[in-house]
Structure 1
Amino acid sequence: MKPVQMRALTGLALALAMAGASQAATTLTVASFPSFDEAVKAAIPLYKKAHPDVEIKLVSLAFGDHHNAMTTALAAGVNLPDVMAVEVGFIGKFAASGGLEDLSKAPYSAMQYKAKFAKFTVPQATGGAGNLAAIPADIGPGALFYRKDLLDKAGVTEAQLTQSWESYIASGKKLKSATGAYLLSNAVDLKDIYIRSGLKDGEGIYFDKQHRVLVDSPRFVKAFELAKAARTAGIDAKVNAWTNEWSEGLRRGQVASQMMGAWLAGHLSSWLAPSTKGLWRSAQLPNKAFASWGGSFYSIPVKAEHKKEAWDFIKFMALDKGMQLEAFRSLDAFPSLIEAQNDPFLDKPIAFLGNQPARKLWKVAADRIPAVAVDKFDPVANEIVNAELEKVLEQNKDIKQALTDAKTQIARRIRR
């Protein structure tokens, strides 16, 4: 055989071998949302080094679109990814659908890893039937972000801002008078934090263990009273988070503080208000409150095609310290993995926050957040409570009547 023919056959064999390898490769579909999807993008080259036979296909939609699409896919049992990203507020609903693998059972047996995660995360991922529907990847320790320059101009200290909920509102009045800036974007934020603080491990936000509705309790009355006091004082901008008005307010110094998950620091510095670098600081929530605000998880649909590979990928994202720290460095996505939380990286100053080592504060909060129980009807209760609060704020509806009406509506909805 001539050398040219030999080279041709060798090239053909190589091409066939490559084609066979390509056909043998597994394509793992991961469905996510911004900016949680950035962790997947960062993970792909790292994961492929150890798993060259696995291709990662990332499908990312806007937050609401993603969860709506996953709701539809779970209901229909089609168009499902291998790995599904889920924000904590949707876990109860998705778990109740029966469309997610119970990761506490074999072959996953994920409860063996429970002690590796922040204590409140696994209860958040456990459905009403006791099934573990998801694995935590990042958490949202509640934090108060504030504009130090505006507070200084108004003569308000951080201690005055955070001493109590009443002092927070009083500080807002002083701030508004001196600078014209609003203290917070929406009075609803006060309600959202207050109803989540002061709980004990195992307690629910909207329902108790017997599934009784709790929204007419003193905790909700106080939350509504604080929101009403802020609105009456004229210290909230009456804008909703994630709207153009909200981001403009943060960027232009029209809103002086924002209570949200620690991950907000990354959003502020990267795209919400990068021009305000050095002006913001982080503090614990007022009145020594500790609460979780958001958090991202990974699930495996029951009808996923590549469950083994999906589980390997989830373990890499959630249990690999290096990957958890990579997401922390690039996204300020506070890690769910305790080993990553104890890394010296937490001691580093954050330039955007005036070189404040704020991650140490967030770690303190993460350790104090209670392990709150979730219920599949939490989203329903949240929607109804917010509608009644709007009537209190805009129509001066009596608070106790609003909460009584909310309880009645929730009970009616969950009986359907």
Structure 2
Amino acid sequence: MGPHRWVSVLVCTVASAAALTACGSGGASNQTADGKTELTVATFNEFGYEDLFTEYEAAHSDIKITQRKTGQGAPHHQNLFTKLGAGSGLADVEAVEEGYLSQVMDKAGQFNDLKEIGPGVDGRWLSWKTAAATSKDGKLIGYGTDIGPLAMCYRKDLLEKAGLPSDPAAVKSLFASWDSYFATGDQFVAKVPGVAWFDSAAQIFNAMHNQHEVGYFDKSDTLVVESNKAILGDWNAVTAAVAKGQSAKLVAWSNEWNTGFKLGTFATKTCPSWMLGVIEAQAGPENKGKWAVTEAFPNGGGNWGGSYLTVPKQGKNAKKAAELAAWLTAPEQQIKAFKAKGTFPSQVKALEDPALLDSANAYFGDVKAGALFAAQAKKVAAAQYKGPKDGQIQENVFSPALQSVEQGKAPDEAWKTAVEGAQKAAK
């Protein structure tokens, strides 16, 4: 794989999955005409598994793998939850994106405990990756695939225009904390009229919110939006920045947002590993070298994106399905998938592999992006507990409420709307 190939692939799915298209139905595994065990694997977007399936079949003459691949994450998960409700029709191995994981964990009883039926794989993953897929009673519902560790991307030329440092090492102090980030934003918008500091209030708020140990729900699934003062603190900080002109007021994944990268509408972007590919695709070749990424993120680290492989109880060959899922997510295979499609590994050993650490990104000034994001992944302290309606509250309540502030609604009024919306969604 070339030095820039891996960052040219979009692997996050939740926010970009707008189109709901028909999804092929699942089905229990069965025997093929020549006596092999057929294992079905349902994925979405690009996991990089095509060559791995061939490799696994070559080493397991009794196995035939059938992939059911959906182009976007939303229809895949819509199919998953429909088949869970119906009690039949799922694949033997079902991929689950982290944005939908809380809904799956709410139905943990319909998935096999991989600690029981799967090979022993303790210690493979970063601890927070495994913790997110572990139920309250200690059952492991999913084997971790990729992750989306967060760094900060920025336009070097725009920071220079504001008289700010632009070298990736020199800008770290600007992004050391959210306080320093917003303070720098004040300096920037004062010096560069017509250009915003960040793209979207919701994008910043979500990154801040996900860093907290407790989010919208506590571990008893009680909604704590009003009592969790950290949420209101984030809200106040972001909406204050909006009032000072720091937001470009764009809706993520909209045409205007995409065009904003090309036109230089905003100077900084919260950047999971896969976002580098989005920036390169949207900003275009004419902006090569203007964008940079630094090994820093306000208040430490964070994660946005990544998936898991689960084994629903509907399948007839759960043990063999678990063996396949464990093999696909082993360090060696995670590196192969990374080389094929750019999925950033979650395995501890894979994060130390030279193939990852030496990978560079030509669009971002030949930065060793693999090593940079591997370091960022290790800064994530813990996985925030997500209640069953967590994703809906983030996407359908708080994001629109923040957009209303960007359009002129008073922050206090929008906050009340968000709290009420969260209470309704949680019922």
Where on the TM-score scale, by shorter chain, does this alignment land: which range?
A: 0.7 to 0.9
Percent pairwise identity? 27
Report the counterpart of residue 28 of structure 2 in structure 1.
none
**Shift in Å, 1:186:** 0.5
The answer on whether the counterparts of 1:27 and 1:57 sit within 8 Å (CA) in structure 2 is no
Matched, 1:81 2:91: yes
**Shift in Å, 1:316:** 1.8
Report the counterpart of residue 205 of structure 2 in structure 1.
191
**Shift in Å, 1:196:** 1.9
> What letter corresponds to residue 116 of structure 2 in structure 1?
A
- What is the rounded CA distance, in whole Å, between the counterparts of 1:267 and 1:27 in structure 2? 36
Question: What does residue range 94-243 of structure 1 map to in structure 2 within 5 Å?
Answer: 94-98=104-108, 100-108=110-118, 112-157=120-165, 158-159=171-172, 161-176=174-189, 177-178=191-192, 180-197=194-211, 199=212, 203-216=213-226, 217-243=228-254
**Shift in Å, 1:164:** 3.4
The answer on whether the counterparts of 1:281 and 1:353 sit within 8 Å (CA) in structure 2 is yes
The DSSP-based 3-state class of the residue aligned with 2:150 is: strand
Matched, 1:367 2:375: no
Partner deviation per Cα, 1:280-301 (whole Å, 9 max, x = no partner) = 2222454333112122111112
Question: What does residue range 10-409 of structure 1 map to in structure 2 within 5 Å?
Answer: 23-34=34-45, 37-52=46-61, 53-98=63-108, 100-108=110-118, 112-157=120-165, 158-159=171-172, 161-176=174-189, 177-178=191-192, 180-197=194-211, 199=212, 203-216=213-226, 217-269=228-280, 271-275=281-285, 276-319=287-330, 321-345=331-355, 346-372=357-383, 373-382=385-394, 383-399=396-412, 403=415, 406-407=418-419, 409=421
Change (3 A) 1:404 1:238: closer
Partner deviation per Cα, 1:199-257 (whole Å, 9 max, x = no partner) = 3xxx3322223444332333112211222123222232222222222222223333332
Partner deviation per Cα, 1:365-398 (whole Å, 9 max, x = no partner) = 2112122223223224323333443444445334
TM-score (norm 1): 0.82
Change (3 A) 1:294 1:175: same
Change (3 A) 1:145 1:398: closer
List gaps (5 residues or longer) in structure 1: 1-19
The answer on whether the counterparts of 2:112 and 2:312 sit within 8 Å (CA) in structure 1 is no
Q: Which has the larger radius of gyration?
A: 1
The DSSP-based 3-state class of the residue aligned with 2:69 is: strand
- What is the rounded CA distance, in whole Å, between the counterparts of 2:203 and 2:193 in structure 1? 21
Segment drifting more, 260-269 vs 79-88: 260-269
- What is the rounded CA distance, in whole Å, between the counterparts of 2:158 and 2:341 in structure 1? 27
Segment drifting more, 351-360 vs 305-314: 305-314
- What is the rounded CA distance, in whole Å, between the counterparts of 2:278 and 2:418 in structure 1? 34
**Shift in Å, 1:134:** 1.1
The DSSP-based 3-state class of the residue aligned with 1:85 is: strand
The answer on whether the counterparts of 2:156 and 2:291 sit within 8 Å (CA) in structure 1 is yes
**Shift in Å, 1:342:** 0.8
**Shift in Å, 1:152:** 2.5
The answer on whether the counterparts of 1:116 and 1:337 sit within 8 Å (CA) in structure 2 is yes
Structural RMSD (CA): 2.8
Change (3 A) 1:394 1:354: same
> What letter corresponds to residue 208 of structure 2 in structure 1?
Y
Segment drifting more, 152-161 vs 351-360: 152-161
Report the counterpart of residue 10 of structure 1 in structure 2.
none
- What is the rounded CA distance, in whole Å, between the counterparts of 2:238 and 2:265 in structure 1? 19
| Greater share of helix | 1
- What is the rounded CA distance, in whole Å, between the counterparts of 1:178 and 1:170 in structure 2? 15
Change (3 A) 1:274 1:327: farther
Partner deviation per Cα, 1:386-416 (whole Å, 9 max, x = no partner) = 34434444453344x65566455544544x4
Segment drifting more, 97-106 vs 121-130: 97-106
Report the counterpart of residue 16 of structure 1 in structure 2.
none
> What letter corresponds to residue 288 of structure 1 in structure 2?
N
Segment drifting more, 155-164 vs 298-307: 155-164
Report the counterpart of residue 5 of structure 2 in structure 1.
none
Change (3 A) 1:243 1:409: closer
> What letter corresponds to residue 227 of structure 1 in structure 2?
V
Report the counterpart of residue 3 of structure 1 in structure 2.
none
The answer on whether the counterparts of 1:265 and 1:332 sit within 8 Å (CA) in structure 2 is no
**Shift in Å, 1:50:** 1.6
Segment drifting more, 374-383 vs 350-359: 374-383
**Shift in Å, 1:131:** 3.0
The DSSP-based 3-state class of the residue aligned with 1:354 is: coil
Aligned length: 385
Change (3 A) 1:251 1:43: farther
